[in-house]
Amino acid sequence: MPSTLLRFYGLDKDQCIVSHYGNGLINNTWKIICGDDEFILQRINQNVFKNPLDLIENIRKLSAYFEKVHPDYFFVAPRLTLKKQDFVFDPEKGYFRLFPFVKGSYTCDTVAKSSLAFEAAKQFGRFTKMLSGFRPSHLRITLPDFHNLTLRHEQFESAIREGNPERIMESEKSIEFLQQHKGITEIFEKIKTNPNFILRVTHHDTKISNVLFSREKDLGLCVIDLDTVMPGYFISDVGDMLRTYLSPVSEEEKDYSKIEIREDYFTAIARGYLGEMQYELSEDEKEHFVYAGKFIIYMQAIRFLTDYLNNDLYYGSKYEGHNFVRANNQIVLLKRLMEKEDKLLEKLKPYLNTRPV
């Protein structure tokens, strides 16, 4: 960690304890303890985010909006340097930001209780609702086409034509299943032209680790890691929660028999998110709540399989067939979701006409 950067914030590196922090796969993160003060230092990964100043500008705009319109909303903004800058640039090491560490808070990597799913969904819903008066077009696009299923499907079809012949043959059943369900992509294409689907300020990465919880009561405090905040559809945020909260195992699980849809977790997500967003969403959007899960799971499945057919150029692999395992994991998850779709739609109904909680 380039501890010399701390001097830009008026911190003495010799008086600070520095350690790596968290399990994030994108940005490098460290925890800084200086006496009674604690901070999180983060280096922006420029291999992923090609224009770091776009991220910085977005958070700057969101912070100013919350301060002006919703001053009581808990928003973790970067600490300013001695020169009143909200980042530090090192020509050799890149862009860095220092955030205050919220004492008494914690993050988690797995959703072990439905109450955590409820709290997280509530926080992501509240975040979007609070920004309903903010023009999404004022945000810069930090990851172009991040959740563009149409493009992902085109890349998938290209990989089937031009990818590794042996892997294409091995993946025949998986390819067939995904092609049979290309209707998920066709629905997305209709959504893009439907005026009842509104572009909103959307987080786009709603995994449980992007929520701060209170250690004292396990209550959600706020959402964090805002680098993927861009204009988007609500299906991105709801879909990612359904993809990552419903099953007790992650996309890395090789034993597909462990993949299941926990109905009480679905109820928790619906209750938490719709408790905030009920009166923001159109009727068309509400009707696509369960579709949101199919949208993201299907997209992740074709992205993993596309990468496998292209010899693991994007995600890489930790062992032979890693992305093939991931793709089939997501295919099984999609099957489980579709098997329970009617039941989930019934469970959704009580939360479509409730007051915010």
DSSP string, 237-292: HHHHHHHHHSSSS-TT-S-GGG----HHHHHHHHHHHHHHHTTTS-HHHHTTHHHH
Residues with Cβ within 8 Å of 97's Cβ and at least 6 positions away in sequence, in order, are: 41, 42, 44, 56, 78, 86, 87, 88
Q: What is the C-alpha separation between 91 and 305, in angstroms, rounded?
A: 37
Per-chain mean pLDDT for the chain: 94
Residue identified by tokens 């997209």 is 299
Question: 121 and 91 in one domain?
Answer: no
pLDDT at 320: 94
Do the domain assignments include residue 144?
Answer: yes
Confidence band of 48 (pLDDT split at 50, 70, 90): confident
pLDDT at 149: 98
Average the pLDDT over 55-82 and give the result.
96
Question: 175 and 48 in one domain?
Answer: no
Neighbours of 172 (CB within 10 A): 9
- Least Cα distance to 138 among 57, 212, 255 occurs for 57
Q: What is the C-alpha separation between 225 and 312, in angstroms, rounded?
A: 26
Question: 223 and 91 in one domain?
Answer: no
pLDDT at 13: 84
Do the domain assignments include residue 108?
Answer: no
pLDDT at 202: 98
Domain range for 46: 3-101
Residue 178: is its pLDDT beyond 50? yes
Handedness of CA 168, 174, 178, 180 (dihedral sign): positive
pLDDT tens for residues 338-347? 999 999 999 9
pLDDT at 22: 67
Do the domain assignments include residue 128?
Answer: yes
Question: 327 and 220 in one domain?
Answer: yes
Residue 66: is its pLDDT beyond 60? yes
Average the pLDDT over 113-120 and give the result.
97
pLDDT at 357: 44
Do the domain assignments include residue 129?
Answer: yes
pTM: 0.93
Burial-class residue 182 by CB neighbours within 10 Å (0-12, 13-18, 19+): middle
Handedness of CA 226, 151, 300, 111 (dihedral sign): positive
Q: Where does a domain end: 80, 101, 122?
A: 101
Question: 160 and 37 in one domain?
Answer: no
pLDDT at 25: 47
CATH number at residue 25: 3.30.200.20
Handedness of CA 306, 309, 314, 316 (dihedral sign): positive
Average the pLDDT over 157-172 and give the result.
97
Q: Are 101 and 29 in contact (CB under 8 A)?
A: no
Q: What is the C-alpha separation between 335 and 294, in angstroms, rounded?
A: 9
Q: What is the C-alpha separation between 30 and 58, in angstroms, rounded?
A: 22
Q: Which residue has the higher pLDDT, 252 or 357?
A: 252
* Residue 355 structure tokens: 């007051």
Question: 139 and 74 in one domain?
Answer: no
Residue 196: is its pLDDT beyond 50? yes
* Residue 105 structure tokens: 């808070």
Question: 237 and 337 in one domain?
Answer: yes
What is the three-class DSSP state of 19?
strand
pLDDT at 210: 95
Q: How many domains does the chain have?
A: 2
Question: 260 and 152 in one domain?
Answer: yes
- C-alpha angle with apex 357: 64 to 229, nearest 5 degrees? 35
Question: 127 and 91 in one domain?
Answer: no
- Least Cα distance to 235 among 124, 110, 90 occurs for 124
Q: Are 242 and 296 in contact (CB under 8 A)?
A: yes
Do the domain assignments include residue 356?
Answer: no
Could you tell me the CA-to-CA distances from 233 to 96, 195, 302 in Å, in that order? 29, 12, 20
Confidence band of 113 (pLDDT split at 50, 70, 90): very high
Confidence band of 120 (pLDDT split at 50, 70, 90): very high
Question: 131 and 251 in one domain?
Answer: yes
CATH number at residue 250: 3.90.1200.10
Do the domain assignments include residue 15?
Answer: yes
Do the domain assignments include residue 107?
Answer: no
Do the domain assignments include residue 357?
Answer: no
Question: 87 and 173 in one domain?
Answer: no
pLDDT tens for residues 1-38? 566 789 999 998 888 888 888 655 456 789 999 988 99
Percent of the chain whose predicted confidence (pLDDT) is above 90: 85
pLDDT at 140: 97
pLDDT tens for residues 321-342? 999 999 999 999 999 999 999 9
pLDDT tens for residues 276-302? 999 999 999 999 999 999 999 999 999
Residues with Cβ within 8 Å of 193's Cβ and at least 6 positions away in sequence, in order, are: none
Phi, psi of 212, deg, nearest 5: -90, 130
Question: 121 and 96 in one domain?
Answer: no
Q: What is the C-alpha separation between 20 and 23, in angstroms, rounded?
A: 9
**Residue 293: half-sphere exposure toward Cβ, Cα within 13 Å:** 28
Handedness of CA 5, 11, 16, 17 (dihedral sign): negative
pLDDT at 324: 98
